[in-house]
Amino acid sequence: MMKIKKGDKRLIRAWAFYDWANSAYALVISSAIFPIFFEKVTNHNGQDTLHFLGFSFRNTELYSYALALSFLIVAFLSPILSSIADYSGNKKKFMQFYTYLGSFSTMMLFFFKGPDTVWLGILFSVLASIGFWGSLVFYNAFLPEIAEENQQDKVSAMGFAYGYVGSVLLMIFNLSMILHPEWYGIHDGTLPARISFLSVGIWWLLFSQYTFHVLPDNVYNVKPPKRKGYLFKGFAELQQVFTELIHYKALKRFLLAFFLYSLAAQTIFYVAGLFGSKELQLDSGKLIMTILVIQIVGIFGALGFSRISKFIGNIRALQVILLIWIGITISAYFLDKNNPNVEMQFYILGGFVGLVMGSIQALSRSSYSKMLPNDTHRHATYFSFYDFAEKIAIVLGTFSFGVLEALTGSMKSAVLMMAFFFFISMLILATIHDNRS
């Protein structure tokens, strides 16, 4: 492990490179290829009913519930594990564990081929999701330890930009294989997608090694206890941070707003492909291209809004982003599959989603980081509350999508509901006055 001073460009670059490593999962598995693949291979002659664990589900409904379960597990495990990591000084080891869990589980999705192996698809998609989101808790917690406060907006945006570039590069290869399997001598219709899942796991595993080589551990030289009892000390650490957190009004209000707009934004991002496939009946290749556009535009969105925040502040920049989100959700509700221009309209909305998706994630992370108490070393524990808010939001968002689809037979009502959450978030952010953000 290299010893590099806080704020050094090499250290910042190595930290941001983990976004390069893991963002292929976010693109290929979470949003583009796997959800569409899951919907297609579990649908036979218009029948989308699956039997799983003795119950019957619509395929997209089951997928939504599986995602919700993974987020729920991460939400409740992360605060405890994060407090133990802070107490013992082993933050990087926890990040490595989740990375290896996620990358190897992603590789195992190669063996998911259809209804007969649906248990493989559900099991390893849940484990891969746990690995991805669990690693991010510890990754995000390194931000205040590798970058000075005046660098954090730019560094957070750099991470997302690296992630978008890396994921797009791998996605181009995967997309070429899916659209033109004959170029690679492939004749099995499911093989290109399954190879893409394998490639994501390998990409994530290999490129994360540079981050782990450079990233420091135990920055504050925490002395791990000689006796066992990590769990009880972890709970004590968690309780202490929670007691501190509730006394910071700006931090509490930010977490509430973050919870509400994450519920809406993350849910929209996760169901975008399914929405285009089922509601608008768009071609799978075109849907993947739309999601690719989202990634490319996201590079400019993350970097652009980090610059805007310098002039109007993080909170006001986030309010502008939320206003754009409201426009997106209302516009999506009125999309009509019978409109001859619906494909182009979907592309345009995809571009706007890309503009605000990366920016809202980057600014949220750096805003929270800058609001943390200056005298604390418990960054993983503090970020576990940030992560808890995000994951519970996604659980409620994806679960409600599944329920609303089951009740109404349409996703449009749920999409429109997201505008309400964005609006309430804007009002809460208006009450925050923190000169560091």
- pLDDT range class, residue 1, cuts 50, 70, 90: very low
Which CATH number covers residue 18? Answer: 1.20.1250.20
Report the pLDDT value the prediction gives residue 114, as an integer from 0 to 100: 82
d(CA 46, CA 431): 50
Report the pLDDT value the prediction gives residue 207, as an integer from 0 to 100: 96
The residue among 184, 182, 86, 88 whose CA lies nearest residue 142 is: 86
d(CA 397, CA 393): 6
Report the pLDDT value the prediction gives residue 19, as an integer from 0 to 100: 93
Q: Is the pLDDT of residue 224 over 60?
A: no
Q: Is the pLDDT of residue 327 over 90?
A: yes
Residue 36 lies in a domain: yes
- pLDDT range class, residue 279, cuts 50, 70, 90: confident
Tokens of 52: 């799983």
Residue 299 lies in a domain: yes
CA-CA-CA-CA torsion sign (412, 417, 419, 421): negative
Considering its fold, how many domains does the chain have in total? 1
- pLDDT range class, residue 110, cuts 50, 70, 90: very high
Amino acid in the structure at residue 137: V
Radius of gyration of the chain (CA): 21
Mean predicted confidence (pLDDT) in 46-56:
74
Residue 435 lies in a domain: no
The 10 Å Cβ neighbour count of residue 384 is 28
* Phi, psi for residue 188 in degrees, rounded to 5: -75, 125
Q: Which residues contact 431 (CB under 8 A, 6 or more apart)?
A: 253
Tokens of 251: 């931090």
Residue 221 lies in a domain: no
Residue 436 lies in a domain: no
Residue 1 lies in a domain: no
Q: What is the pLDDT of residues 288-321, one digit of tens each?
A: 777 777 778 887 887 888 888 888 888 999 999 9
Tokens of 192: 């290109």
Mean predicted confidence (pLDDT) in 153-157:
87
* Identity of the highest mean pLDDT range in 320-329, 361-370, 391-400: 320-329
* DSSP at 182: G
- What does pTM read for this prediction? 0.78
CA distances in angstroms from 319 to 113, 128, 424, listed in the order given: 43, 32, 11
Helices vs. strands in the chain: H and E counts, helices first: 15, 2
Q: Are 402 and 65 in contact (CB under 8 A)?
A: yes
Residue 277 lies in a domain: yes
Residues in the chain: 437
Residue 419 lies in a domain: yes
Q: Which domain holds residue 359?
A: 9-45+53-216+227-429
Q: What is the pLDDT of residues 118-145, one digit of tens each?
A: 889 999 999 999 999 889 888 888 888 8
